[in-house]
Chains A and B, each alone.
Chain A
Amino acid sequence: MNPVNYLYLAALLFTIGATGVLIRRNAIVVFMCVELMLNACNLAFVTFSRMHGNLDGQIIAFFTMVVAAAEVVVGLAIIVSLFRTRHSASVDDASLMKL
C-alpha cells in the first residue's frame, strides 16, 4: 500500500483536531482534539520514517507520546479543578485573563 495514503490520513486527522480546538467549547472535547492533532503528527512521523528508511521519525513519535501523557495529566487536573470552581467545563467561561 502506498505510504502517501497514511500522510493523507494524518492531514485529515490533524485538520479535524484543529477544527475541533477552534470551534468546540467543552474543555474535554477541546482536549481530546488536541490529542487527535498530536496523534496525527505521530502518524506522519512514523510514515516519514518508513518512507526514508530510518528510525528518526519513530524516535520522535515516542517522545511525542511521553509529552502527550504528561500533558494529559496536567490538562485533566486543570479541567477538573476548573469544573469544581465554576460548575462548567466551557473554555469561554474561563476568560478572565485579559486586560
Chain B
Amino acid sequence: MENLIALLIAAPLLGAAVLLCGGRRLDAVGHWIGTLLAGLSFVFGALLFADMLGKAADHRTVTQHLFSWIPVSGFQADVTFRLDQLSMTFVLLITGVGSLIHLYSVGYMEHDERRRRFFGYLNLFLAAMLLLVLADNYLLLYVGWEGVGLASYLLIGFWQHKPSAATAAKKAFLVNRVGDMGLSIAIMLMFTTFGTFAFGPVFADVSGTGEGKLTAIALMLLLAACGKSAQVPLQSWLGDAMEGPTPVSALIHAATMVTAGVYLIVRSGAVFNAAPDAQLVVTVVGAVTLLFGAIVGCAKDDIKKALAGSTMSQIGYMVLAAGLGPIGYVFAIMHLVTHGFFKAGLFLGAGSVMHGMNDEVDMRKYGGLRKYMPVTFVTFGLGYLAIIGFPGLSGFFSKDKIIEAAFAKGGTEGWILGGAALLGAAITAYYMTRVMIMTFFGEKRWQPDEHGHEPHPHESPKSMTIPMIVLAFGSVFAGGLFSFGDRFLHWLEPVTGHQEGHPPVSAAVVTGATLVVLLVGAGIAYVQYGRRPVPVVAPRGSLLTRAARRDLLQDDFNHVVLVRGGEHLTRSLVYMDHTVVDGVVNGTAASVGGLSGRLRRLQNGYARSYAVSMFGGAAVLVALTLLMRAV
C-alpha cells in the first residue's frame, strides 16, 4: 500500500509534464487531463487514508524509500517519503481542495487561450506541495519548497502581458527567496549540529543539543515559514499576488503555499519545543500578523485584496497556535484545514462574482448581487459565517480553540496573546461583514464602463458552482466533525503530541467573549455599511484607513529601509571598487608602463652604446670580483 505514496506525487507531476511538453495538440483536452490527474491523486490519497484508518493509532506512520539521492559518505540524502497523520491531513487537503479548484478553473479559464498551460502549472503546484509535505528529510522538503515557489511565480504571473502581474510574480518570488535562505541555513545548521537532516534522527537528537543552536535553527525555520506563509516581516508579496487568476489565489491561500510555513513549524515541533525563546518569537510573529492582516483587510475595496488580508490574518492565527507548542499544534492544523475549506470557498465565490461582473474587483461597484447570483451568495455566505466563527460552523470550533490556547499560555504573555487573538476575531467579523454587505446587499452600484457596456451579473456555470457547493459543505461541517469527541485531536496527537491547556478563565468564558466581540465587530460593520448607502468613490478616510489601504505602509517601509539601504550599500561598494581596487590595479599598471617607457630609451639602436654597456657591465663584474677577493 505504501507504494502508492510516490504515485500521489507522480500523478500531478505527470500531468504537468504532459501538459507543458504536449504542445497545442492538447489544447482541446488539456484541462480535463489536468483535472483528472489531480483527482487521481486525491483517489490515491483517499485509498491511503482508508488504509491508515485501519491501523492502530501509533502504527500509522509509513515510509517509502524510493532511491538514494546523494549517497556520499557522511552525507546521506534519500528520496524517502513519510506518510503519517500530519502529512495525510495535508495530502487530503491539497488534493481534495486542489481538485475542486481544478474543476472550477475549467469554467473560469474557459476563454483563456493558454488554459492548457495554466493547468500544467496547477498540476506542478500540486506536485511540489505534495513533495513538500511527504518528504522524510529537510533536503527533499526543500526541493518541494522551491517547487512551490516556482509554481507560484508562474501562476501569479500567468497573465504576464499585464506588467502589474509580472511585477507581482517577481515580488512574490524574491520575497520568498529571503525565506528560502532561512530554510537553507537551517538545513546547514542541522547538518553541522546533528550530521543529518532526516526527520527521525534530527528529532531524536534534539534532547542532547544545546539550546542556543536549537534556537538558531528554529529561528531560521521561522524565517522560512514567514516567507512562504506571508507573515510579518515577509508579508508584502501576498496582496500583490492577487494579480494572478482567482483560482490561483484560492489555491495559494487555501490548499498550498501559505500553509507550507505552518506545516514546517508543526513538523519541526520537536525543535521548537526545545527552544522556548524561538517559540515566543513565533507567537509574536503570529499575533502581529493576525492583527496586521485584519487591519489591512478592513480598508481594501478590492474584494480579492480584502480576502488576501484575511488570509494573512488567519495564517497568523495558525502560526500563533503553532508557537504555543504542544497545546496549540493540533489546533493550528485544525484551523488550517477548516480555513482551507472556507477560504477556498470564499475565493472561488469572489471569482464567480468577478466572472459575472466583467472582472470588476472594486466592491464599491457591486451591491445587491444576491438576487443575481443565488448559489454564489449562499456558498459565499456560508464561508463568511464560517470564517467569522459563527457558532456551529467550522471556523467557530477551530478559532475558538486557538484563542483558548493563547490564553492558556499563562502569565502576561497569555493575556496579551489571547487579547490579540480576541481583537483579531472582532476585526475579522468587521471586515468580512463589510465584504459581505458591500457585495451582496444594498443597492446595485455598478455602472456602464467607458465603452457603454453595463455588466450583466449572472450565475456561473456548473463547473464553477459545484466546487463552491462542495467547499461550502466543508465550511459548515468540517469543524463540527473534527471537534465532535475530539476526533481530530486523537487523530493528530501521535505525531504532534498534545498537552491540555488551562486558560486562566474557563473555556465557556472565552467562548462567550469570542461571541461578544464577533457580534460587536459585525454590528459595527452593519451600522457603517448596511444602514447607510455605500459611496461609490472611496471617502478619504482616517489616517489609519489610508495607511491600511497602502497595506500599512509595508512597501514604503521596504522601499525606504531595504531598497534605499541596498542602493546605498551598492553605491558605496561600487565607489570602493572604482577607487581602491581599481586604483591599486591601474596604479600598478601605470607605474610599470612608465618605468618601461624610460627603460625603452636605452634601446637606441647605436651599436656603440650597446658596446659601452657591455664594457661597463664587464668592468662592474671585474671590480666586484676583485672586491670579493679583497674581502
Contacts and interface: CB of A to CB of B under 8 A. Distances in A.
A and B: bona fide binding partners: yes
Interface of A: 18, 21-23, 25, 30, 91-92, 94-99
Q: How large is the interface on B (under 10, 10 to 19, 20 to 34, 35 or more residues)?
A: 10 to 19
B154 to A, nearest CB: 62
A36 B611 CA distance: 15
B600 A99 contact: yes
B612 A95 contact: no
A38 to B, nearest CB: 15
18 contacts: A18-B615, A21-B608, A22-B608, A22-B612, A25-B608, A30-B608, A91-B608, A92-B606, A92-B608, A94-B607, A95-B604, A95-B605, A95-B606, A95-B607, A96-B605, A97-B603, A97-B605, A98-B605
A98 B607 contact: no
A18 to B, nearest CB: 6
Interface of B: 600, 603-608, 611-612, 615
A22 B600 CA distance: 21
Nearest to B597: A99
A59 to B, nearest CB: 23
Contact of A99 (B603, B606, B611, B612): B603
A4 to B, nearest CB: 18
B623 to A, nearest CB: 16
Given A21-B611, A98-B604, 6 more contacts: A30-B607, A95-B604, A95-B605, A95-B607, A96-B605, A98-B605
A57 B77 CA distance: 82
B172 to A, nearest CB: 63
A23 B603 CA distance: 19
A92 B605 CA distance: 8
Contacts of A91: 606-608
B611 A22 contact: yes
A99 B611 CA distance: 18
A18 B608 CA distance: 11
B596 to A, nearest CB: 10
Contacts of B611: 21-22
Contacts of B612: 22
Contacts of A98: 603-605
A23 B611 CA distance: 10
A2 B153 CA distance: 105
A97 B603 CA distance: 8
5 nearest A-B residue pairs (beta carbon): A98-B605, A95-B605, A91-B607, A97-B605, A98-B603
A22 B615 contact: yes
A18 B604 CA distance: 20
A96 B328 CA distance: 93
A88 B536 CA distance: 106
A94 B603 CA distance: 13
Contacts of A23: 608
Nearest to A19: B615
Contacts of B600: 99
Contacts of B606: 91-92, 95
A87 to B, nearest CB: 18
A98 B600 CA distance: 9
Contacts of B615: 18, 22
